[in-house]
Amino acid sequence: MKLDETELKMLIELQKEGRQSRRILADKVGVSTPTVSSKLEKLENMGIIEGFRVELDHSKIGFQKYYLKVEIEGDMEEGLRKLVDSHKRFRALEKLEGGPYLLTLFVNHFNQVDEATTLIEEEEGVKISDLWRVQEEEKKVPWLPLDENVPLDINCYYCNKPIKGEPVKWKKDGKEHYLCCSSCKELYEEKYERLQKRKKEMREKE
């Protein structure tokens, strides 16, 4: 299963300028406005378009960016996720190949670096093995390198492998989730419910 040419063109245009009207977008990609509207809805429902947000330049308003390399022992994965969710200055957590995590931290006062690292160090089985302050963002391209001539595969939301043929769809929370087979769907549903529960708990805490 792949995105069609129009959908790909729309994504390319929207990455350049997220704020344009549907009519203008339709002109650019060469289809009618209703087609753009329905495709836009589909791409949002699929979660491929995650949202339309304002991008702020953190350095102009006194924020500094740090990267922390975090290592965990045993089954501390869930503990680390909870820790990261509990602190608003942690902005991204990425699992790297081979095990360690890369954590992005934004602060507007140096004390907050200490605060944040102490929080991690206090957690049993979690440690920081490296910490870097970003001195300058030399190149920052927040969009994906899409190529108009290469159709994009839709990957299974659970196993991340390309979906061959018709997807197994799961409608939930106003979105359509695309899976490659019924066993992936089952596992994905479980994972999704677990994640939603955690998010709900986080919101209640805030």
- Of the candidate spans 110-118, 124-132, 137-145, 180-188, the one that interacts with Zn ion by CB under 5 A turns out to be 180-188
Taking the C-alpha atoms of residue 30 and residue 12, their distance in angstroms, rounded to an integer, is 13
Of 161 and 197, the one with the shorter C-beta distance to Zn ion is 161
CB of 175 to Zn ion, least distance (A): 17
Binding to Zn ion in span 123-162, by CB under 5 A: 156, 158-159
CB of 178 to Zn ion, least distance (A): 9
CB of 181 to Zn ion, least distance (A): 6
CB of 67 to Zn ion, least distance (A): 31
Of 12 and 159, the one with the shorter C-beta distance to Zn ion is 159
CB-facing half-sphere around the CA of 18: CA atoms within 13 A: 10
Amino acid, single-letter form, for residue 13? E
Range list of H helices, 46-181 = 77-85, 111-121
- Of the candidate spans 70-78, 107-115, 126-134, 177-185, the one that interacts with Zn ion by CB under 5 A turns out to be 177-185
What are the tokens at 148? 């108009």
Return the SS3 of 48: coil
Of 152 and 159, the one with the shorter C-beta distance to Zn ion is 159
180 binds Zn ion (CB under 5 A): yes
Taking the C-alpha atoms of residue 176 and residue 181, their distance in angstroms, rounded to an integer, is 15
168 binds Zn ion (CB under 5 A): no
184 binds Zn ion (CB under 5 A): yes
Taking the C-alpha atoms of residue 42 and residue 35, their distance in angstroms, rounded to an integer, is 11
What value does the CA radius of gyration of the chain take, rounded to a whole number of Å?
A: 20
Residue with tokens 């994972």: 191
Tell me how many residues contact Zn ion (CB under 5 A).
Answer: 5
Please report which helix (H) or strand (E) contains residue 198, including its range.
helix 182-205
CB of 185 to Zn ion, least distance (A): 8
Return residues touching Zn ion (CB under 5 A): 156, 158-159, 180, 184
